[in-house]
Amino acid sequence: MANRPKSPEPRRPAPRLYLVVPPSGDPAGLADALAQALHAVEVAAVLVSLTGDDERALLNGLKALAPAVQSAGAALVLEGRADLVGRAGADGAHLSGVEDLSAAVPSLKPDRIAGCGGLATRHDAMLAAEAGADYVMFGEPDENGHRPSFDAVIERVEWWAEVFQIPCVGFAAHPDEIAALVTAGADFVAVGQFIFDDPRGPAAAMKDAQALLSIPEAVE
């Protein structure tokens, strides 16, 4: 019997962008910059980190922001504030560490997103998956702005993509990190401060980031 050709491996979909917004005490004030970014390219999710103690003001700002994000086809995710997700009309929360994730999952699942970052070890990442994380994130800076070496981030993304089905977000601190994260197997690439610092505006920066997701060697 003639040997049959081996079936090709399924083509991995190109990753999508995950936009991380700089911390703000005025969510509604982000609307203009976000509109530019979201209208320029397709964005899977927008992560908003809130500052300030005026909960009513934060909720009002989020309620104003949510429709603009969601109408663009993106999910609105709140950094650490699972308690505000339902009241704000957001789509989910991003928690730091397995303990915070485990505490938040009952209030979020099954209708809302529970993401997890702040995962220092492989063991932590596996625990997050077991606790119900909808995605894990590697490479984001901590509250002091420190992050692992980029080589370590790439190693973690490669390991996760090879072993697990739960999506992985790789954090790009600079545009020149995007292509390496794509090649490593990230399902989503998080982009943040450099998008908003670009003197050309968020739209141009997002278009450049989107172009880097489609390098041929990353999706073959």
CA-nearest of 175, 140, 119, 132 to 49 is 140
pLDDT at 25: 86
pLDDT at 122: 97
**Least confidently predicted of 22-36, 63-77, 116-130:** 22-36
Three-class SS string for 108-168? HCCCCEEEEECCCCHHHHHHHHHHCCCEEEECCCCCCCCCCCHHHHHHHHHHHHHHCCCCE
Residue 13 pLDDT level (bands cut at 50, 70, 90): confident
- pTM (predicted TM-score): 0.90
pLDDT in tens, 132-144: 999 999 999 988 8
* Percent of the chain surpassing pLDDT 90: 77
pLDDT in tens, 155-165: 999 999 999 99
- For range 103-116, the mean pLDDT: 97
pLDDT surpassing 50 at residue 219: no
Question: How far apart, in whole angstroms, are the C-alpha atoms of residue 117 and residue 9?
Answer: 30
| Domains delineated in the chain | 16-213 (3.20.20.70)
